């Protein structure tokens, strides 16, 4: 008994040693010090953020000040089936981690048996001169059984470490799904509203083209216009009508996508026509290295790498003996329940079992190489995810800068066409310009207006892409001033000229 306890104490002492296998250290990456900007870009365009993964991320979509968008994203986060499936996988990973962690403690089970047995009087005897008699006996046997694998090399601890990192990876994956879904809803909604704006302008263009067609038709009937001019205008009206049909189809596709994202049947989902949001946020940008803490997909790749590193220790431990405290039990055995707890009825056993694989045709070595290769694969994937994160952020920042410049130029083009339209309207009232000239200017102005709405939509999409690339918003981010230019204010000039 003393020897058995001594062996157990030695084994338990060994269990406190450092676990086998390499300790995980996040690899160093060659991260750029800052982002590159376009020549002549305003340095104050980007505000330095102070992100941290343990800080809550705000509802970044609320900065667009659009109630419909807020409602759609809340419905998506509450009902989306892809997110629900990801949450279920997270629950599984947490439960599995808890199950693996239970291996650090002994497993204790209790069994109890009770029987009444009749033995035969004609059973074989141990000696020729012994006499057997038929007997009836009771047998009561309660036993508490304990099994425990001594983690003297840290194999169990490495396995628990791997399962916990896998659970953390599942949590990061769920956060990434949430981010992707919110960005997808916002992108689809902005595209839908951009198509609404274009449809509104294109409808006005078609109206002007039809009015101009009527003027040309009258001139043709009077012999002042040729067949070519009339046919060209008819083709222009038909072409614009075809574009209008295509825009309506694109809008329907985005509407159906929003229905699916919010877990609503597309046939029963409808969004009435609306306008683009009037607020264009300027989200803060931090240094590139902060992407390692902000991006959930980067965090997931890093946790997968940590789990794979722990699996190397699990595979390496297979080269050494495993120690198991077994059998270890405490109980009683008696023919009478009244004496079951007495000292003579007591029974117990404790032992230590060591198991060492001698020959397995190279299976253990292959498993060890498999674990090493698994870590190398997750390391390469981690580095690639970081590179993609840097690329996506740089693309989004460049897109915001370039679309901002393009919109300023298009604003100037619209302003010049507005001035030309005002002059032509005065000349038309004085009889110096024809109705056809005025209608052509109105058409050009509306075409420029449509391009401008496309620029606005692209600006919103680039900001959404930046939020997605940065891993979400920041709590405490101040709301920017809204865009003051609204479609109604610009279109009033056109309607007044008509």
What would the 3-class secondary structure string for the chain be? Answer: CHHHHHHHHHHHHHHCCCCCCCCCCCCCCCCCCCCCCCCCCCHHHCCECCCCCCCCCCCHHHHHCCHHHHHHHHHHHHHCHHHHHHHHHHHHHHHHHHHHHHHHCCEEEEEEEEEEEEECCCCCCCCCCCCCCCEEEEEEEEEEEEEEEECCCCHHHHHHHHHHHHHHHHHHHHHHHHHHHHHHHHHHHHHHHHHHHHHHHHHHHHHHHHHHHHHHHHHHHCCCCCHHHHHHHHHHHHHHHHHHHHHHHHHHHHHHHHHHHCCCCHHHCCCCCCCCCCCCCCCCECCHHHHHHHCHHHHHHHHHHHHHHHHHHHHHHCCCCEEEEEEEEEEECECCHHHCCCHHHEEEECCEEEECCCCCCCHHHHHHHHHHHHHHHHHHHHHHHHHHHHHHHHHHHHHHHHHHHHHHHHHHHHHHHHHHHHHHHHHHHCCCCCHHHHHHHHHHHHHHHHHHHHHHHHHHHHHHHHHHHHCCCCCCCCCCCCCCCCHHHHHHHHHHHC
Phi, psi of 117 (to 5 degrees): -125, 135
CATH number for the domain spanning 41: value is 1.20.1600.10
CB atoms closer than 10 angstroms to residue 421: 20
pLDDT value at residue 493? 37
pLDDT value at residue 363? 92
Q: Are 493 and 446 in contact (CB under 8 A)?
A: no
pLDDT value at residue 475? 53
Tokens of 260: 């699916």
Domain count for the chain = 1
How far apart CA 213 and CA 116 sit, in angstroms, is: 108
Instruction: Specify the 3-state DSSP secondary structure of 420.
Output: helix
What are the pLDDT tens digits along the chain (498 aa)? 555 545 555 555 554 567 888 888 888 888 887 777 655 554 444 444 444 444 446 788 998 999 999 999 999 999 999 999 999 999 999 999 999 888 888 888 899 898 989 888 888 877 777 778 888 888 888 888 888 888 888 888 999 999 999 999 999 999 999 999 999 999 999 999 999 998 988 888 888 888 888 888 888 888 877 888 788 888 888 888 898 999 999 999 999 999 999 999 999 999 999 999 988 887 777 778 777 778 889 989 999 999 999 999 999 999 999 888 877 888 888 888 888 888 888 888 888 888 888 888 999 999 999 999 999 999 999 999 999 998 998 898 888 888 888 888 888 888 888 888 788 777 767 767 667 777 777 778 888 888 888 888 999 999 999 888 888 865 544 544 444 333 343 344 334 434
Asked if the structure places residue 333 within a domain, the reply is no
Quote the radius of gyration of the chain (alpha carbons, Å): 38
pLDDT value at residue 14? 53
Asked if the structure places residue 353 within a domain, the reply is no
Tokens of 219: 């001139």
Q: What is the dihedral angle through the alpha carbons of 112, 114, 120, 123, rounded to the nearest 10 degrees?
A: 10
Phi, psi of 39 (to 5 degrees): -60, 135
Asked if the structure places residue 430 within a domain, the reply is yes
Asked if the structure places residue 304 within a domain, the reply is yes
pLDDT value at residue 185? 96
Asked if the structure places residue 331 within a domain, the reply is no
- Per DSSP, 334 falls in state B
What's the CA angle centered on 128, arms 124 and 129, to 5 degrees?
Answer: 115
Asked if the structure places residue 75 within a domain, the reply is yes
For residue 460, give its domain range: 22-104+154-320+363-497
């Amino acid at each position: 008994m003393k020897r058995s306890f001594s062996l157990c104490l030695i084994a338990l002492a060994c269990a406190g040693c450092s676990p086998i296998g390499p300790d995980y250290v996040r690899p160093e990456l060659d991260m750029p010090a800052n982002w590159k900007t376009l020549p002549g870009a305003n340095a104050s365009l980007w505000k330095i953020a102070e992100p941290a993964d343990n800080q809550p991320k705000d509802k970044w979509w609320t900065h667009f000040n659009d109630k419909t968008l807020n409602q759609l994203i809340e419905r998506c986060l509450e009902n989306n089936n892809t997110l629900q499936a990801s949450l279920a996988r997270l629950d599984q990973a947490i439960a599995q981690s808890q199950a693996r962690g239970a291996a650090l403690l002994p497993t204790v089970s209790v069994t109890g048996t009770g029987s009444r047995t009749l033995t035969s009087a004609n059973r074989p005897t141990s000696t020729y001169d012994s006499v057997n008699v038929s007997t009836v006996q009771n047998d009561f046997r309660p036993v508490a059984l304990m099994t425990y694998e001594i983690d003297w090399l840290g194999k169990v601890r490495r396995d628990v470490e791997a399962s916990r990192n896998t659970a953390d990876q599942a949590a990061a994956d769920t956060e990434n799904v949430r981010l992707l879904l919110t960005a997808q809803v916002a992108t689809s909604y902005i595209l839908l509203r951009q198509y609404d704006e274009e449809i509104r302008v294109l409808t006005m263009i078609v109206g002007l083209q039809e009015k101009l067609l009527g003027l040309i038709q009258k001139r043709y009937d009077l012999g002042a216009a040729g067949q070519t001019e009339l046919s060209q205008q008819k083709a222009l009206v038909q072409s614009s009508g075809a574009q209008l049909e295509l825009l309506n189809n694109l809008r329907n596709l985005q509407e159906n996508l929003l229905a699916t994202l919010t877990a609503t049947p597309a046939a029963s989902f409808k969004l009435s026509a609306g306008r683009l949001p009037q607020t264009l946020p300027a989200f803060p940008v931090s240094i590139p290295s902060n992407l390692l803490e902000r991006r959930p997909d980067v965090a997931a790749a890093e946790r997968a790498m940590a789990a794979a590193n722990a699996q190397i220790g699990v595979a390496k431990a297979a080269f050494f003996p495993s120690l198991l405290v077994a059998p270890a039990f405490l109980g009683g055995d008696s023919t009478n329940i009244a004496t079951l707890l007495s000292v003579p009825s007591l029974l117990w056993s404790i032992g230590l079992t060591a198991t060492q694989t001698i020959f397995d045709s190279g299976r253990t070595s292959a498993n060890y190489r498999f674990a090493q290769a698994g870590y190398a694969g997750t390391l390469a994937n981690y580095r690639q995810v970081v590179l993609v994160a840097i690329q996506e952020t740089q693309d989004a920042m460049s897109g915001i800068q370039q679309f901002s410049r393009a919109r300023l130029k298009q604003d100037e083009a619209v302003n010049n066409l507005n001035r030309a339209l005002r002059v032509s309207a005065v000349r038309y009232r004085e009889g110096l310009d024809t109705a056809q000239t005025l209608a052509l200017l109105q058409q050009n102005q509306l075409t420029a207006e449509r391009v401008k709405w496309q620029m606005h939509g692209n600006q919103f999409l680039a900001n959404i892409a930046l939020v997605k690339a940065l891993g979400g918003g920041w709590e405490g981010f101040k709301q920017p001033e809204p865009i003051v230019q609204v479609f109604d204010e610009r279109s009033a000039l056109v309607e007044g000229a008509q």
